[in-house]
Structure 1
Amino acid sequence: MSRAAREREAGGSDSGVIAQTRRMIEIEIRNLRDSVPGAELRAERSQLLADRDGRRGERLVQVRSRLQRARGDLSQQIAEATRATVAGARAWVDAASRAELGSVPTRLQHEVDHHTRVFDAAMAAAVEVAGTTGCMPSSRIPEGPPRRQRGNEDRVTILVGASAGLGLGRIAVTPLEMIPALEFASIPVTLVLGGAAAWWLARTRGLTADRAYSRSWIVESMSTVRAQWEQRVQSVLLEAEADLGAAIMAESREQVASAQARIVEIDGELRELAAARSGQLASCERDLAVLNAAY
């Protein structure tokens, strides 16, 4: 092969390599221009911006909604407990003796304490915090009912009882008056029967009045207790809403600070990636310019 032929063959080979190198550099330049480095970092940054407050608004709405439902449920439970307690106490009073009526306040307070514990447990479950009512005093019924004052009705009852008793006594001893020897004996018998009838009627009338007095006191007392229960629920739930809201706000501030710190890191990493991309692009463009200038 002649020298000229070898030079033509070498020149053709060099031209092919240069052309291939130029195409590779052009492809690299196109890829660098079309690509956006740090796609995962940008996605993370967008997620941090969207959730950096820890969904504070949504969580606050959820807390208020939960406590509002708890308030409604507890109000209904209080109304039902009040009705059931009054009905049960009145039924017991209707069957109680005069001596047993004295234990009405104790029995009623026992029922109130039971329902108070139930409401406290329901409130603790609603706010998801144990011991929410630990510092609150227990609901109390008013002082026991004062002794019922004997009025004119009691006196009239005694007179009516005595009159009725004497009348019954007269009827009972009528057969004795038919016997002359027993005529005077009928007088004390009449008086005894009259006194016994008066005593029984007065006692029965007094027990009925005492029961009515106790029933009235029960209704008034449970009205007071119901107001205490409702105030208890209102105080606990309002305090819980404030405490839970403050906790959410504090947690949100921490998450915002943490997210902001991570965003600053990501921005730095993205700048580094962008600088590296720019450097690579500039290097490729320089190489391409050298090839274009030389050939």
Structure 2
Amino acid sequence: MSAPAATTQPSLPKQVRQARERLLALIKEAEPETARWVEEIRARRKKNPSVVVVGETNRGKSSLVNALLGRPGLSPVDAEVATATYLVFGHADSWEARACYPGQLAPVPIDLPELINWVSAAHELPAGELPPRYVEVDGPVELLAKLSIVDTPGVGGLDSAHGELAKEAAASATALLFVVDASAPFTTGELSFLADVGERVETVIFALSKVDQYRGWRQVLEADQALLIEHAPRFAGARFHPVSARMYEMAGKAPNPDAAAMLRERSGVDELRGALEELLVGRSIMLSEANTLRALSTALGELRVKLEAERRALSTGEAEAATLRARKDELTADRRSSTKGWQVKLRSEVQRTRVENNHEVSRQMRDVQSWFRQAIDVADKDRLRELPAQVDTALQMVSARISASVGHRLNQVTETVLGELFQHDELEVIRAQFARHGSSPIVLRPADKRPPTAEDKLLVFMGVSGGFGAGKMALLPLASAVAAPILLVPTIVIGLGAGWWIAKTRKHTADKQHMKQWLTESIADARSTLDQLVAEQLIEAESQLSLALDEALGKRIAGIEEELREVDKALRLDASERSKRLAVVNKRLAEINSGRDRAEQLLASIRTVRDRA
């Protein structure tokens, strides 16, 4: 006799899909409008996951992006990029690009050959155009139909403002592609970045680039893995993908298909591309399903409250009616009261948010100013020229952080005031109603070019004069042996060289002082703008919350009146009919409770799978 076949547990995606359809049908039967809201949430889910690519300058990051896209030269290589602009690659039937200014200006179309002018400091922007916050590039690439790629600028290093930009970008992405090269193990800046980003980013994929250029890349890989264990244990055991963008590009010029296939295979780019697709595409679907399950759980919670009220009406009758009338009177008094205690509470919480926010803005602005003043002190000429773009990046990040912080705090304010107004079961309904009905960036003025002054001319004169003197002192021992006319030429050369060096050094010092003055003024401007934006946000939020909470009170009072009518109907039923109705309600309530428990179990399973990845 053969053993019975073992039952196979359906895969998690299949379990989620089955539960979603069953629970949606359950809600559709009871509340068609709520079911439509859940379906709208599912329809709004992101179609594609996103990958943010980060790495130090000259790690081969942008070359790797070009290889992944099969388009050499599309993303300008790191060595030429010195701006805070990043590139977002998406899918389209034909190639197109646009410079984006969120919250400021309409996107500006870009011809693809002109792309480098918009994202590289080595090239001039078209006349009259402003530097964009980011540039979108769409094209007919198979990979981009499945996921979008964000190429962040490599200038500045991962221990500077660029590292913060990468962290902020990665926090909202599906994954981070971290590019290091085979020339040497992780730098201190890279390890610090990974230790920090491990607390913010779920998935990090490592690519070891330029393996064709360094014979000892395997030893570097082993050293990198050991350093991760010691300094970033969150990524201990992570898989590295050895790649060579140059070898992949050479495959396009190979003399025959066999040679091209060999080069592509040895480049490791196809393997990395496959790993990205395998890891991210399925996960994106599950994350979007999680959003749908969360909406279903919210809707089921609201239904549960209504069914429990109906059950009480059928089982307790007069006692339930008396409780509802007392609650209605209490809420009506709260709504009509001249003091409106809940409004006082709301204003108090918003004011506390304003004070907390002022302290946080001051702290972050001080940190930015302190960091960049130190960077100015040690900057050479090229580094000094790059700093304004990095200041812009840092202030944009401060703006985004403060906006997110205010939004989070206002959610807490809402919960606090709702907790004062409504009971636990009522909050289930109110939150569901809120769910169904569901900032301008800082514009930094560019650093003005420091105009030459009379002091500069004096410094040049003093430098040349000093240089002549130094030249004469250097040649003085030879004066007795060589005629003065012969010494004149080398004296002039030494004098001019020393004068040039002295003048250059003093000019660089003056440029640093000018940059510090600009930094102070720019941060003051940015602080003023940010304070104004946040103040407007809080004023608008307080007004909208006041209206929303008043509306919520009105809806709850109307809901109680509806429940009272249901109680009156139940009291008019005979015992037999009431018993039948109660049995139906209990059955539906059991289905609702079971369905909500199942939704929460699946959400926990999705989180577990996500955390393992």
The TM-score normalised by the length of structure 2 is 0.34
Structure 2 residue aligned with 1:250: 551
Distance across 2 between alignment mates of 1:183 and 1:42: 118
Runs of 4+ aligned structure 1 residues displaced above 6 Å come to: 261-267
Deviation at 1:219, TM superposition (A): 0.3
1:169-248 superposed matches below 5 A = 169-179=471-481, 181-248=482-549
Deviation at 1:263, TM superposition (A): 7.3
Structure 2 residue aligned with 1:14: none
Cα distance change of structure 1 residues 202 and 54 upon mapping to structure 2, 3 Å threshold? same
1:111 and 2:111 matched: no
1:73 and 2:356 matched: yes
Contact 1:112–1:140 under 8 Å retained in 2: no
Gaps of 5+ in 1: 1-37, 130-135, 268-295
Structure 2 residue aligned with 1:4: none
1:45-84 superposed matches below 5 A = 45-52=325-332, 57-84=340-367
Distance across 2 between alignment mates of 1:114 and 1:77: 13
Cα distance change of structure 1 residues 93 and 86 upon mapping to structure 2, 3 Å threshold? same
Deviation at 1:264, TM superposition (A): 8.9
Distance across 2 between alignment mates of 1:124 and 1:93: 34
Distance across 2 between alignment mates of 1:266 and 1:113: 57
Cα distance change of structure 1 residues 239 and 176 upon mapping to structure 2, 3 Å threshold? same
Distance across 2 between alignment mates of 1:253 and 1:47: 13
Deviation at 1:141, TM superposition (A): 1.3
Distance across 2 between alignment mates of 1:176 and 1:60: 91
| Cα distance per residue 1:65-106 (max 9 Å; x no partner) | 222111111111111111111111111111111122111221
Contact 2:440–2:533 under 8 Å retained in 1: no
Cα distance change of structure 1 residues 196 and 63 upon mapping to structure 2, 3 Å threshold? same
The TM-score normalised by the length of structure 1 is 0.68
1:139 and 2:422 matched: no
Query: Higher strand fraction: Structure 1 or Structure 2?
Result: 2
Structure 2 residue aligned with 1:163: 465
**Match for 1:255: what amino acid?**
R
1:87 and 2:390 matched: no
Cα RMSD after superposing both structures: 2.9
Contact 1:66–1:126 under 8 Å retained in 2: no
Distance across 1 between alignment mates of 2:320 and 2:440: 57
**Match for 1:45: what amino acid?**
R
Query: Higher helix fraction: Structure 1 or Structure 2?
Result: 1
**Match for 1:70: what amino acid?**
T
From the CA coordinates, give the structure whose radius of gyration is larger: 1
**Match for 2:391: what amino acid?**
L
Distance across 2 between alignment mates of 1:183 and 1:65: 86
Deviation at 1:206, TM superposition (A): 0.6
